[in-house]
Structure 1
Amino acid sequence: MAKRQGEAIVTTNRPDGVKPRRVLVLGATGTIGRATVRALVSRGHEVVCLVRRPADAAIPAGAAESSRVSQGAIERIVELTDPLSLARDGVRGESFDVLVSCLASRTGLPDDAWAIDYCAQVSALHASQAAGVTHVVLLSAICVQKPMLAFQHAKLAFEEVLIASGLEYTIVRPTAFFKSLSGQIDRLKRGKPFLVFGDGTLTSCKPISDDDLGRYLADCLDDDARRNRVLPIGGPGEAITPKAQGERLFALLGREPRFTHVPVMLLDVIVIVLATIGRWVPAVAAKAELARIGRYYATESMLVLNPATGRYDTHATPSTGSETLFDHYARVIRGEAVAERGDHAVF
């Protein structure tokens, strides 16, 4: 089946049981957002993406720039933190059925997190309710199970608002993303060792690809079993440690594994020093928060946390999709894919 969107012909392959809807999407220009929009469009949904003004361009709110979102979707530029702009430039008095949010703060710093992960999400929720939305699909994060950072608390606060809104909801908490685990590929290509914290087995995760996650999010629109639930989700296969990631990368490059082991205590010292200086220097305080984020991901697994034992459980972490992290590594090394890390490289 095909439909015409402007000058392009967009082919849809609607699965059985999928009801076409009008869908508002937030966070559509990120890697996961683009994959989710592709999946929604392929299922025949009418997709309108509300996106932030590019940081390096003076494009007026309400303008359109179709090149930043996936083909077949409509882009509307809005001020996400301004409820008036969301209604006037985004919703435009139209009716919608579903809100899908892949929105996330760019830095994870407190001001950014509360402005985007909470305030902008709440404003979009209210605008969506006024537009007739009855179901919200929210991309959250599995790390909110053990909140220690500002962005985690902001995400949890919005989850609570959504659950209390009276709308049907699906909250998806994915594990690690491929882009978050691809930062050392170029380093190894230059002949340097793979960096690990401790012995390289302190943490593990079930990473999920953008496309597998995008399809999972799109399928939430028509799967009644996913309504009014908080759903952790990972990619296929067993959980992977940083050491295993490094070993596979060296094997794909045809080289002997070489590791540099960084003591976690070093991160603790960095956090303490930066936090102390940050009491008087705001710019250093921001660096201290980034250091805390780095330490969190260096010491906490991205798996389901068993509240009874306080331990992460790989067997309790559901899997979906078909592409593994190691498949992705092989494609990047062959030049068939790019390790696109974007604004969230710190993660």
Structure 2
Amino acid sequence: MSEPREIAKIVLLGASGTIGTAVAREFAAEGYAVTCPVRRHCPELSTDVTQRIWDPEDPASLAAILSDQGPGAALISCLASRTGTPEEAWRIDHVATANAFRQAHAAGFAQGILLSAICVQEAELPFQQAKLAAEDALMQSGLDWAIIRPTAFFKSLSGQVERVRAGKPFLVFGDGRQTACKPISDGDLARYVRLCLEDPQMHGRILPVGGPGAALTPTDQVALLSDLLGRPVPVRRIPLSVLTAVTGTLSALARLFPALRPKADMGQIARFYATRSMLVQDPVNKGYSAEKTPSFGTETLADHYQSILKGNKTINLGSHTVFDRKPRRKRTPL
């Protein structure tokens, strides 16, 4: 068992992302000195943190930042590729992340924490394989480590709230009961990351974690929204065979037309999440287990949906906006 250390300084990678921002705020609120290497200044970050400009693909740009923290600090990585495409995933999720942990050890850091993902249990996609390789790099880095594998984030389950509020149907693949997850809020996950730093019993472990309550299927999400809106939410079911056919067609065309490769890659990612539960696998029963997926925190998905519907919370969905994309306007020549 690791001996507890007094760590006061944190270097946080990936702070400009949704989860990273929450982690930065959590540590700053608890009195840690937080340094966030970022590609460009991030106004969403707390003024209590220090921002330093860096290039994730240039190890030398991180070396000076790490050396300024002195020995005994901790490196936390919430770094993730923005698209999940194979090339970017290996450059960011693996190479940049692994280099950072090695550099942190060389700079005298004491601990390293990696925010990974539950989906690496079935590492079929390149970004999952890259994350799994980053996990191995941290374990081999010489740092006292912890690896966190969260289930679904609230953000990833918020893409249809506005369309449902507008009276449009909730889209589900298959029967809407094939997959399930135990989503966790940004704030609860940020507190869990801090506990992983502070609690020696969580060191040297791979830690799957979900939010409070029972596992939820897409059908359960429909029920939540129906209750909150006070009316039945219509459902449109998309056969999995349609998604499989579209993904297969895109993959075949991408071999002839390389420009289609990003869309084919995104199709593969969409099909994975449409057919796999984000829960701990049960090797005995050859399936997923909600009971074996640890729960943490207090905020539920219903709480989150209610905050959005009441206007108390806005969500920048970014790449999660996949249901109601508007066509781009053609630019008028000047």
> What TM-score results when the alignment is normalised by the length of structure 1?
0.88
Residue 135 (1) aligns with residue 122 (2): no
Give 1:1-347 correspondences, 5 Å limit. Answer: 19-53=6-40, 65=41, 67-88=43-64, 90-91=65-66, 93-96=68-71, 97-345=73-321
For 1:107 and 1:294, the matched residues in 2 are separated by: 12
Q: Deviations over 1:272-291 (max 9, x none)?
A: 10011100222212111100
Cα offset for 1:44? 1.3
Q: Deviations over 1:3-55 (max 9, x none)?
A: xxxxxxxxxxxxxx9945111100011111111111111221111001123xx
RMSD of equivalent CA atoms = 1.7
Moved more, 90-99 or 74-83: 90-99
Q: Is the 8 A contact 1:201 1:241 kept in 2?
A: yes
Letter in 2 for 1:214: A
SS of the residue corresponding to residue 102 of structure 2 reads helix
Cα offset for 1:127? 2.1
- Could you say which residue in structure 2 is the equivalent of 1:60? none
Q: How many residues align?
A: 319
SS of the residue corresponding to residue 43 of structure 2 reads helix
For 2:111 and 2:81, the matched residues in 1 are separated by: 23
Q: Identity rate of aligned residues, in percent?
A: 47
SS of the residue corresponding to residue 191 of structure 1 reads coil
For 1:241 and 1:173, the matched residues in 2 are separated by: 19
**Structure 2 spans left out of the alignment, 5+ residues:** 324-334
Letter in 1 for 2:39: R
Cα offset for 1:345? 4.6
SS of the residue corresponding to residue 57 of structure 2 reads coil
- Could you say which residue in structure 1 is the equivalent of 2:327? none
Q: 1:272 to 1:126 in 2, by over 3 A?
A: same
For 2:28 and 2:276, the matched residues in 1 are separated by: 36
SS of the residue corresponding to residue 237 of structure 1 reads coil
Q: 1:118 to 1:105 in 2, by over 3 A?
A: same
For 2:149 and 2:57, the matched residues in 1 are separated by: 23
Q: 1:68 to 1:75 in 2, by over 3 A?
A: farther
SS of the residue corresponding to residue 314 of structure 2 reads coil
